[in-house]
Amino acid sequence: DGVSLCWPDWSRTPDLCDKYKTGVIDGPACNSLCVTETLYFGKCLSTKPNNQMYLGIWDNLPGVVKCQMEQALHLDFGTELEPRKEIVLFDKPTRGTTVQKFKEMVYSLFKAKLGDQGNLSELVNLILTVADGDKDGQVSLGEAKSAWALLQLNEFLLMVILQDKEHTPKLMGFCGDLYVMESVEYTSLYGISLPWVIELFIPSGFRRSMDQLFTPSWPRKAKIAIGLLEFVEDVFHGPYGNFLMCDTSAKNLGYNDKYDLKMVDMRKIVPETNLKELIKDRHCESDLDCVYGTDCRTSCDQSTMKCTSEVIQPNLAKACQLLKDYLLRGAPSEIREELEKQLYSCIALKVTANQMEMEHSLILNNLKTLLWKKISYTNDS
């Protein structure tokens, strides 16, 4: 079942349970993880050896269990984020911190990550509701320490911000920096996923052919694609600013048995403000030095030898690049030409273009309309 891809013997559990039993951390998943042992770890979903992501069962409900797999966003451009070298200390907030003081800490963190949005106070209150795991109307010190550790993670923050959106997996619970999210039946856009060890030896051309063989029918692919376009809308100028998708690949997207898209891995979706702040003064020799994740690229200013802060390609263009082969293969002949034209217009979108937002909305709506029109009368939709 690929357990070798995950850290041996689920190495974080004893550490988390010690901290829970000594009152350092708390959260709705702690009792099930450490006392009743009704949170089970099953198949390892990691496609790379530096991840910790498992299928799990919590009180008979399927879920995906994740442990902190990223360090706070210190940008190692062009490289993978390293697995953590140190154990999270859960040293904040300290004993004696009032709820008001904790709210101020969270507010300052959000201001640094998301910029000076007018409605950050609403988000702070939302976080306090999530942090109150036992729903007793109060946030204990242990719950606050767990919440603070989790708020350093982009994926957790995004899950809370987009908790009412259809394409974001629901948060089921947490304990320390471990969290459980709803299970997604199919964990890749394509119907087959292989362990990373095997992936290493498969030529990319053969892999693409395999992917195309194991895909749903075209109307179902179209429905999944509409879901991705809707998710792009969710993160583009959402209620708390713009988020950038920095690894738009098929392995990060899944879908359920109704062919509704669900995000599987959102670790490389980062707040634009945060990324710009960290990237703008980075030393560079060429544009290749100014990349975060796999596809958040800025340019290298040769006069200063520093990275510029504007990401070149918008989320929508990257989503269309991913969807091009997926949608064109098997597309109905009567819309194929129009679909291809719209996808190429979409891929050509640049952040710097005048009236980009208007063009972005127009292309996105045209694509969704074209796909919906074609599938709305089929059983597959």
pLDDT for the residue 314? 94
Q: How many CB atoms lie within 10 A of CB 224?
A: 23
DSSP type of residue 245: E
What is d(CA 138, CA 161) in angstroms, rounded to the nearest whole number?
A: 21
Centre a 10 Å sphere on the Cβ of residue 328 and count the other Cβ atoms it contains: 13
Beta strands in 130-268 (DSSP E): 171-175, 178-182, 243-245, 253-255, 261-263
Question: Cα 244 to the chain's mean position, in Å?
Answer: 10
Q: From the first residue on, what is the mean pLDDT of each consecutive set of 10 residues in the chain (381 residues)?
A: 44 81 95 93 70 85 79 44 53 93 96 88 95 92 96 92 93 94 82 54 60 77 96 89 92 90 92 88 92 92 94 95 94 96 95 77 94 79 49
Query: What are the angstrom distances between the C-alpha of 2 and each of 54, 191, 254?
Result: 10, 18, 19
- In the chain, DSSP assigns E strands to 39-44, 53-58, 61-66, 171-175, 178-182, 243-245, 253-255, 261-263, 269-271, 291-292, 296-297, 300-301, 306-307
Look at phi and psi of residue 184 and say left if phi exceeds 0, alpha if psi is from -120 to 50, else beta: beta
Q: What is the crossing angle of helices 218-235 and 315-328, to 10°?
A: 180
Q: Which residues contact 187 (CB under 8 A, 6 or more apart)?
A: 45, 193, 251, 254, 264
**d(C-alpha 13, C-alpha 10), whole Å:** 6
C-alpha separations of 237 from 172, 213, 339, 361, 373 in Å:
26, 36, 26, 12, 27
Collapsed DSSP state (helix, strand, coil) of residue 116:
coil
- CA-to-CA distance for 270 and 155, rounded, in angstroms? 8
CA-to-CA distance for 163 and 100, rounded, in angstroms?
24
Task: Count Cα neighbours of 57 within 13 Å in the Cβ-side half-sphere.
Answer: 6
Report angle CA 294, 251, 109 to the nearest 5 degrees: 60
pTM: 0.85
Helices (H) and strands (E) in the chain, counts: 13, 13
Task: Kindly list the structural domains of the chain, giving each domain's residue range(s) and its CATH number in brackets, ordered by start.
Answer: 9-72+90-182 (no CATH), 196-274+309-376 (1.10.510)
Cβ atoms of residues 213 and 319 within 8 Å: no
Q: What are the Cα distances from residue 50, in Å, to 12, 88, 247, 260, 350?
A: 14, 17, 16, 29, 33
